[in-house]
Amino acid sequence: MPWNECKPMDERLRFIARLLEGEKMAPLCREFGISRVTGYKIFDRYKECGLDALYDRSRAPYRQANSLPFQVERTILGIKKEHASWGAPKIRDKVVRQYPMIKPPAVSTIHAVLDRHGLVKRRKRRRHKTEGTPLVAAHQPNGLWCADYKGEFMLGNRQYCYPLTITDYRSRYLLTCEGVPSTRSDFAFTIFERAFKDFGLPEAIRTDNGVPFASGNALFGLSRLAVWWLRLGINIQRIKPGHPEQNGRHERMHLTLKNEATRPAAFNFLQQQERFDNFIEVYNNQRPHQALGGAYPGDIYTPSARVYEPPPEPDYPYHDRSVRVTRCGRICIGRRKINLSTVFAGQTVGVTEVEDQIWLVSFLDYDLGYFDKERGRVEPGPNPFVPDKVLTMCPE
C-alpha cells in the first residue's frame, strides 16, 4: 500500500531526507511502496520548489468549466437583441472589439449561450425516433421502476455490503435486492441486466443523483449506466438532490428491509443474500400492503411486454455524419479531436452543421451541445434531461 497511515507530508519528508543522505532511488521506492516515476517526481518538485512542494497540491480545476463572465454574457444577449439576424460568429467579432482585454469566447460558447436563452432558431427537420413505447404515467406495472442503494452496513466478517434494490412503482413489487461490495457500475450493469431479462424493460427508471446512476462531472450528469438505459429506450428520471421523498415509496421499502433483513447482519455475503431472497418472497407474496388495499404486490405485478435484447446501433439519417466516440470520450473528425465525455465511449453520435462552422452533436433523440472550428470540446446546449418535467407525470 503506497505510503504509511500517517500524514503524506511526513512521509515525503522522510523520503527526501533519505535520498539526500545518499540512499538509492529504486530500493527506497520499493520500501515506501511507490513507483520510481512518482519518486523522481517528488524529488524534482523538491529541487524546484523546496519543502513547499511536498504539501498536497489542490485538485481543484484551474478554471470552472463552461463559465463566462456575466458582463460578457449580458453583452452577447444585448447584441443579439439589437441585431436579431446576427449569428454567433458575427457576435463574437463584436464582443472581441468591446472586450479586447479578455480571452475571447469560442463561437460554440456564444451559440450555447444563445440557445440557453431561446434565441436560436432551430431548423425544422424530421427527427429519427428510437424504438420503444412512449412513457406513460405509472398507472400500470412497469410504467416506472425505482432503484437505489440501501445504506451500506457491515457484515460479520467486517466487509461492507451495499444492497442494490429495484421496485415497480405501481405495484410496489420488489424486483431485486442484491448485496454487492461496492457501488461500482460493473455490479450495477450485471444486476440490471438480470432484472431486464427476468421482468422485461420498464418505460422509465427513477433514481437519485449518486453513482452509478449519475455522474456529477459528466455531460448533463449522465453515467455509463444511464447511457445504456437510453440505448434500451428507457427514460431517465432523477429526483432533486436532497429530496429523497420524491422516491418515497422506495425509501419506505428500505425501512422495512432494514428492520427485517439486516438486523443483525449476517456473517458473509452468501448468508446475507439468503436473507434478502427470503425477504423478497415474503414482501412480494405474503405481506399485505396497506397502500394496495391489503393485496400482495405479487397479486398486481406482471412482467413487462418489452423483452430485453441488445439495443440496435443508433442511426442518424438526418445528420451529416455518424461518429463513434473513442474510449477517451472524443469525437474524431479527420485530424480533429473534439472532447465530449467518457460516458459516451464506444457509442455512436450524430454530427450536423447547424450554422456556418458550428456543429451540433446528438445522441439518439437528444441534442447534447455544439462545437466550432476553433474550440476542441463540445459546449453543452439546453439540458434535454430535465427531471422536473418528468416528475410531474407521476408524483409520490
Q: What percent of the chain has pLDDT over 70?
A: 86
Average pLDDT over every residue of 374-387:
78
The answer to whether position 195 is within a domain reads yes
Name 164's bridge partners.
149, 178
Kindly provide the residue ranges of all beta strands, DSSP E only, lying in 254-357, ordered along the sequence.
321-324, 330-333, 336-339, 348-355
Whether residue 137 has pLDDT greater than 80: no
- Phi (first) and psi of residue 228, to 5 degrees: -65, -40
Whether residue 232 has pLDDT greater than 70: yes
Residues 248 and 292 in one domain: yes
CATH code assigned at 87 = 1.10.10
Residues 348 and 215 in one domain: no
pLDDT in the model for residue 384: 80
Residues 260 and 181 in one domain: yes
Q: Name 324's Cβ contacts closer than 8 Å, sequence gap at least 6.
A: 346, 347, 348, 349
Whether residue 307 has pLDDT greater than 90: yes
CATH code assigned at 261 = 3.30.420.10
Give the residue carrying C-alpha cell 439518439: 364
Most confident of 145-149, 311-315, 373-377: 145-149
Average pLDDT over every residue of 128-141:
47
Average pLDDT over every residue of 133-159:
80
Domain boundaries, position 107: 70-116
Residues 340 and 287 in one domain: no
Q: Where are the alpha helices (DSSP H) in the chain?
A: 8-20, 25-32, 36-49, 70-82, 88-98, 107-116, 185-199, 224-231, 248-261, 269-285, 297-300, 387-391
The answer to whether position 178 is within a domain reads yes
Residues 296 and 332 in one domain: no
Residues 174 and 232 in one domain: yes
Q: How far apart are CA 169 and CA 396, in angstroms?
A: 9
pLDDT in the model for residue 158: 92
The answer to whether position 82 is within a domain reads yes
When pLDDT is cut at 50, 70 and 90, the band that residue 310 belongs to is confident
pLDDT in the model for residue 220: 84
Residues 153 and 296 in one domain: yes
The answer to whether position 134 is within a domain reads no
- Phi (first) and psi of residue 343, to 5 degrees: -65, -20
Q: Name 314's Cβ contacts closer than 8 Å, sequence gap at least 6.
A: 130, 231, 322, 347, 348, 349, 350, 363, 364
CA-closest candidate to residue 372, choices 154, 111, 99, 32: 111
Q: How many domains are contained in the chain?
A: 4
pLDDT in the model for residue 8: 59
The answer to whether position 308 is within a domain reads no
pTM: 0.65
The answer to whether position 191 is within a domain reads yes
pLDDT in the model for residue 323: 92
The cell for 148 is 437505489
Residues 28 and 156 in one domain: no
Length of the chain: 396
Whether residue 349 has pLDDT greater than 70: yes
Residues 164 and 234 in one domain: yes
pLDDT tens for 244-262 read 888 888 999 999 999 999 9
Specify the range with the lowest mean pLDDT, choosing from 30-44, 291-305, 351-365: 30-44
What SS3 class is residue 178?
strand
Residues 76 and 41 in one domain: no
pLDDT in the model for residue 55: 63
pLDDT tens for 320-340 read 899 999 999 999 988 889 999
Residues 290 and 150 in one domain: yes
The answer to whether position 160 is within a domain reads yes
Using the CB atoms, write b or e for 344-362: b if 16+ within 10 Å.
bbebbbbbbebbeebbbbb
pLDDT in the model for residue 200: 95
